Amino acid sequence: MVEITETVLRDGHQSLIATRMRTRDMLPAAERLDS
């Protein structure tokens, strides 16, 4: 079995907006990733 870990919410925001993304900004995207 191959398992994949998505790292967009962990790493992507750090490079794009220099760690200024708040958790409440990520939650809507996280809900979509989980569906």
Quick: pLDDT tens for 21-33: 777 887 887 888 7
Distance CA 4, CA 22 (A): 24
Domain of residue 15 covers 1-35
- How much is the pLDDT for 2? 83
9-24 average pLDDT score = 67
Give the 3-state secondary structure of residue 10. helix
Domain count, the chain: 1
6-34 average pLDDT score = 72
